[in-house]
Amino acid sequence: MPSDTAPRSGRRGAGRDAKRAARLAHAIDSVPFITRQLAPFEVLSEEGLALIEHNADTVLEEIGIDFKGDPEALDLWRAAGADVQGERVRFPRGLCRGLIQQHAPREYIQHARNPARSVTIGGRNTVFAPNYGSPFVRDLDGGRRYGTVEDFRNFVKLTYASPWLHHSGGTICEPVDLPVNKRHYDMLYAHMRWSDKPFMGSVTAPERAQDSVNMAQLLFGDNWIDPASGRPRTVMTSLINANSPLTWDATMLGALKVYARANQANLTTPFILAGAMSPVTVAGTCTVTLAEALSGMAFAQLVNPGAPVILGSFASSISMQSGAPTFGTPEPSLVLYAMAALARRLGVPFRSGGALCASKVADAQAAYESANTMNATLMGGVNFVLHAAGWLEGGLAIGYEKFVMDCDQAGMWHAFMNGVDLTASGQAMDAIREVGPGSHFLGCAHTQANFETAFFRSNLADNNSVEQWEAEGAQDMPVRANAIWKRALREYEPPPIDPAIDEALLDYMARGRAAVPDSDI
Amino acid sequence: MPSDTAPRSGRRGAGRDAKRAARLAHAIDSVPFITRQLAPFEVLSEEGLALIEHNADTVLEEIGIDFKGDPEALDLWRAAGADVQGERVRFPRGLCRGLIQQHAPREYIQHARNPARSVTIGGRNTVFAPNYGSPFVRDLDGGRRYGTVEDFRNFVKLTYASPWLHHSGGTICEPVDLPVNKRHYDMLYAHMRWSDKPFMGSVTAPERAQDSVNMAQLLFGDNWIDPASGRPRTVMTSLINANSPLTWDATMLGALKVYARANQANLTTPFILAGAMSPVTVAGTCTVTLAEALSGMAFAQLVNPGAPVILGSFASSISMQSGAPTFGTPEPSLVLYAMAALARRLGVPFRSGGALCASKVADAQAAYESANTMNATLMGGVNFVLHAAGWLEGGLAIGYEKFVMDCDQAGMWHAFMNGVDLTASGQAMDAIREVGPGSHFLGCAHTQANFETAFFRSNLADNNSVEQWEAEGAQDMPVRANAIWKRALREYEPPPIDPAIDEALLDYMARGRAAVPDSDI
């Protein structure tokens, strides 16, 4: 965000600020997403991964998955060769995997209305999107309260302004002040109007998914259809959660079908609190997750072969005393690593992780848990990272200060994933020869030539002496973050939009709102 | 620590507490250190690592290392075939590596006076030791102040009490209230008397290193000599920092020689703030670190072939504006991963990482930075982790609350490094069959049989609802940690010691203190 480029105190020269801002602005333009130079970390051998695949196939074959309230889904499965009893679908071994590997793209481009913001999802790429789905918001000034559409717009703007978030996300927070059956209009419009980054569609009802597709078609206009394929370009990636264990419900199936038919991407995610929706083990949780995700992604291929899908895994362990979800703990990280490897073997993009935590506030607990989860996210090779910024309280709240803190961390991952520079300049043998024993490198030619870009610079972290830190008010990280998001909102400038498109969107929404009464479901 | 086993509130039943305490006590006995089941993460290819090795050999051959104020060292190097000009030593390619690979053990046991606490350093093992070297301490009650010998003893006791720290460390904080030339007695005695875990010796002067050896000999008595080899058992690992770049000073060389001759382990660590003591690049920093460490470890082999050594790497990047060190940032993590791989190729134990941070207080910054560093530490395969708990403010201070927080994280790494259980119980197919679609796993037989040990349990993290958290006082993590360390000190019970040994130690110290006047150098 622009304020990421600004110093906290006014002491530094304006010239340096401008130079720094220019450098970061360049970084924004040049990095629409991370392309990792490092191989992912593996926690299971080939044999271990094959065992979980075998077990998932056993679950699909012997136990099956419930496809609820969607007779069309049952017909499609029957026609594909599955065994359908009531709403229970059992799959011959390899059926789901085969459908996915035959049709689903290994990676896909999600187009943004600003082509420079388009993201490639899958392969060696990582895309960061903000928090999703929180009914509450928290900031240092107002504490915790229900989210509003103003909060929603604020977070769209903050996401747009951050150089380290690549994707505008979806339901960043719930705009609880708007009727449930109409708030998707305002959320979609905010993503489309106040950002030019790629975004997610509504999934809370099939007709809202259709509104998402219709508005996206208005937004992209002549660019909606790819002339090469004759199909719509993929411009949305939307979140289809399983009703774990082993169940897809009618709402999610309905939204999935709308998106798949329009060639939009479905992020099919088993949402699992291990111990409740899956066994209390890592391998068992992976088995349930894989079985569910396979069935969802394969179903998308039945609806429209070739429609993009992501294998999603949201896994937390629960406290076996209270039932509360826990984050940043060892077992969810192990699940993430294993699932990432399973997605690579299957050959589809993978979604998991984020800056997850159980803490209610942006304290040390929040940071330990978020950092642990983000380390697994990046080291494991996640392609699409929902909840990369803002998450608090098991997802019940999004925090403004937490958002700023997580963005800073997201920036660091850009530097880490570039790996080690082994060019002659990276080796720096000239510098070592120039300085020799017992001196220092601060003034040597190589340092002078490289210090501007040598190390990742956070302007949220305070690395000063304790004396200087105290002189500046002994501010902890959330206090510093508070100033940063406020400044980012003050300095926000919207991206340009064609007025005719804007009018068409506003008109579409006005007609949609007028067509039905407000409703809270 | 015992209080880790206790709930924060008094609401839970005493029976459950006792059960939990018993379970954790068992864990303490059974895990004297971590043996990882996961392969380390690699950031460089074989070619990249070989390039840095080649460059380090070039530094050793062409630039050389200064061995200051130690004519004996120069004689030893001359006799070994090095080119010695003044105090500058230049090494034929491969000389240092050859000495190390011919003589130094790939791993070694550091014996504790309680044999159950002995640690194996090297290989697939990871040993956690607390913070080292801070002149200041901080807690929520008293803020920041100079460390005292009482603080020192407190941290020895807290380390002893933690099930997740394997090693008592060395100068956990500086007892600034004692004269510089005598405080080593009190530090050594605290480790020997108030803990039974392995510890580190004094390095601030050769005669203090000798005092450390003499007191260790008293402590171990009949067990000092290994009858199989006729040599002293290794019972101390001590920290020998290089004076980077490319310099060893007389104090450190003197201490190293004392320890090597007594078959005690030397942790030879280039202490590098990249950009000041090394180039502003990862590869350049690794080259300087490797060259220095090779020369130090090889020197120990000249002094006493076979004496245990550890390749140490302490690397921070510095803020190129202020010169302040930064932690938990991408570049030091990359250095850590690369150096860990270089140590494995060389075939010696590796020390790096810890819960490092620049933050002055135990806030979110401290936690993000510490967690990032600890992730690299564990994923990279560090064998000896100094600063695993307590570090604040770039090492200038140790925090009581930070210590408790870091211990909790250290516990989580024990669970993570066990990897994924792929036994029949780990696969949990019976549970998945029993529960089926649309139900939950909370009450199933497999969950009931496994929930006690299924997931790592923190009792510092608060995973409760916001309503319950507010009802309990809306305590952030440091506030909860404050209660935990106080309880741990209240409940501390010293390990038993032979009164004759205790008396011999007290007598040795009394004579040493009386022999010379107090001095502040």
What's the pLDDT tens digit per position in A131-160?
999 999 999 999 999 999 999 999 999 999
Please check the confidence at residue A11 and state whether its pLDDT lies above 70: no
* Distance (Å, whole) CA A320 – CA A47: 30
The neighbouring-strand residues paired with A34 are: A126
Structure tokens at A232: 């719509």
Q: Where would I find the beta strands (DSSP E) of B352-451?
A: 384-385, 391-392, 397-399
pTM of the model: 0.94
Mean pLDDT of the A403-410 span:
98
Q: Who's near B473: CB < 8 A, 6+ residues apart?
A: B479
Confidence class for position B521, pLDDT limits 50, 70, 90: confident
**pLDDT given for residue A262 in this prediction:** 98
Q: Who's near B264: CB < 8 A, 6+ residues apart?
A: B201, B213, B216, B232, B234, B235, B236, B237, B238, B307, B308
Mean pLDDT of the A315-327 span:
89
Structure tokens at A191: 């993503």
Distance from CA of B336 to the nearest CA of A (A): 11
What's the pLDDT tens digit per position in A93-128?
999 999 999 999 999 999 999 999 999 999 999 999
- Which residues in chain A are contacts of B450 at CB distance < 8 A? 280-281
**pLDDT given for residue B323 in this prediction:** 85
Q: Do the interacting molecules here have an ipTM over 0.85?
A: yes
Closest CA relative to residue A367, chosen from B477, B55, B222: B477
Q: Do B447 and A279 touch (CB under 8 A)?
A: yes
**What is the separation, in whole angstroms, between the first and last Cα of chain B?**
35
Please check the confidence at residue A13 and state whether its pLDDT lies above 70: no
CB pairs under 8 A between A and B: 391
- Which residues in chain A are contacts of B274 at CB distance < 8 A? 455
- B231 φψ region: left (φ > 0), alpha (ψ -120 to 50), beta (else): beta
Mean pLDDT of the B280-305 span:
98
Q: Which residue of A has its CA nearest to B451?
A: A320
* Distance (Å, whole) CA B5 – CA B14: 12
* Distance (Å, whole) CA B486 – CA A359: 23
Provide the pairing of β-strand A65-67 with A88-90.
antiparallel
* Distance (Å, whole) CA B51 – CA B42: 15
| Whole-number average pLDDT of chain A | 94
* Distance (Å, whole) CA B142 – CA B138: 7
- Our measurement of the distance from residue A166's CA atom to the centroid of its chain's CA atoms, rounded to an integer in Å, reads 9
Looking at per-residue pLDDT, the higher value among A12 and A285 belongs to: A285
Question: Which residues 199-238 of A have a C-beta within 8 angstroms of B?
Answer: none
| Whole-number average pLDDT of chain B | 94
Confidence class for position A448, pLDDT limits 50, 70, 90: very high
Q: Do B245 and A432 touch (CB under 8 A)?
A: yes
DSSP per-residue letters across B244-263? SSSEE-HHHHHHHHHHHHTT
**pLDDT given for residue A452 in this prediction:** 85
Q: Do B412 and A372 touch (CB under 8 A)?
A: yes
- In the DSSP assignment, the letter for residue A495 is P
What's the pLDDT tens digit per position in A242-301?
999 999 999 999 999 999 999 999 999 999 999 999 999 999 999 999 999 999 999 999
Is residue A208 within 8 A of residue A240, CB to CB? The reply is no
* Distance (Å, whole) CA B324 – CA A87: 63
Q: Which amino acid is at A57?
A: D
Mean pLDDT of the A432-453 span:
93
Please check the confidence at residue A451 and state whether its pLDDT lies above 90: no
**pLDDT given for residue B30 in this prediction:** 55
Tokens 């895309």 appear where? Answer: A127
Closest to A367 (Cβ–Cβ): which among B367, B437, B438? B367
Is residue B302 within 8 A of residue B80, CB to CB? The reply is yes
- Which residues in chain A are contacts of B474 at CB distance < 8 A? 360-361
Mean pLDDT of the B468-493 span:
97
- Coil/strand/helix, residue A430: helix
What's the pLDDT tens digit per position in B107-126?
999 999 999 999 999 999 99
- Which residues in chain B are contacts of A334 at CB distance < 8 A? 416, 419-420
Helix/strand/coil percent split, chain B, to 5: 50, 15, 35
Question: Which residues 442-501 of B have a C-beta within 8 angstroms of A?
Answer: 442, 444, 446-447, 450-452, 454-458, 460-466, 469, 474, 476-478
Q: Do B369 and A428 touch (CB under 8 A)?
A: no
Question: Which residues 345-404 of B have a C-beta within 8 angstroms of A?
Answer: 358-372, 375, 379, 393-394, 396-397
Please check the confidence at residue B23 and state whether its pLDDT lies above 70: no
Q: Do B476 and A439 touch (CB under 8 A)?
A: no
Distance from CA of A435 to the nearest CA of B (A): 9
Mean pLDDT of the B517-521 span:
92
Closest to B324 (Cβ–Cβ): which among A38, A397, A463? A463
Confidence class for position B17, pLDDT limits 50, 70, 90: very low
**pLDDT given for residue A4 in this prediction:** 26
Q: Do B413 and A330 touch (CB under 8 A)?
A: yes
Q: Do B440 and A276 touch (CB under 8 A)?
A: yes
Is residue B279 within 8 A of residue A419, CB to CB? The reply is no
Closest CA relative to residue B97, chosen from B306, B301, B340, B381: B301
Please check the confidence at residue B283 and state whether its pLDDT lies above 60: yes
**pLDDT given for residue B320 in this prediction:** 78
Quick one: what percent of chain A has pLDDT higher than 90? 91
Please check the confidence at residue B193 and state whether its pLDDT lies above 50: yes
Is residue B213 within 8 A of residue B262, CB to CB? The reply is yes
Quick one: CA dihedral B237, B243, B246, B252, positive or negative?
Answer: negative
Closest to A63 (Cβ–Cβ): which among B416, B433, B450? B433
- Which residues in chain B are contacts of A394 at CB distance < 8 A? 463
Q: Do B405 and A330 touch (CB under 8 A)?
A: no
Confidence class for position A6, pLDDT limits 50, 70, 90: very low
Residue A311 C-beta-side C-alpha neighbours within 13 Å:
36
What's the pLDDT tens digit per position in B321-334?
788 999 999 999 99
Please check the confidence at residue B397 and state whether its pLDDT lies above 70: yes
**pLDDT given for residue A30 in this prediction:** 55
Q: Is A320 exposed, middle or buried (0-12, 13-18, 19+ CB in 10 A)?
A: buried
Quick one: what percent of chain B has pLDDT higher than 90? 91
- DSSP H or E run through B366: helix B364-380
Q: Where would I find the beta strands (DSSP E) of A36-177?
A: 65-67, 83-85, 88-90, 108-110, 119-121, 125-128, 136-139, 143-146
Provide the pairing of β-strand A34-35 with A125-128.
antiparallel
**pLDDT given for residue B502 in this prediction:** 98
Distance from CA of B391 to the nearest CA of A (A): 14
**pLDDT given for residue A319 in this prediction:** 86
Q: How far is CA B113 from CA B1, B224, B499, in A?
A: 19, 10, 14
Please check the confidence at residue B53 and state whether its pLDDT lies above 80: yes
* Distance (Å, whole) CA B305 – CA B261: 9
Q: Which residue of A has its CA nearest to B282?
A: A420
What's the pLDDT tens digit per position in A64-74?
999 999 999 99
- Which residues in chain A are contacts of B472 at CB distance < 8 A? none
* Distance (Å, whole) CA A365 – CA A358: 8
Q: Which residue of A has its CA nearest to B433?
A: A63
Structure tokens at B112: 């504790």
Q: Do A58 and B366 touch (CB under 8 A)?
A: no
- Coil/strand/helix, residue A409: helix
- B246 φψ region: left (φ > 0), alpha (ψ -120 to 50), beta (else): left
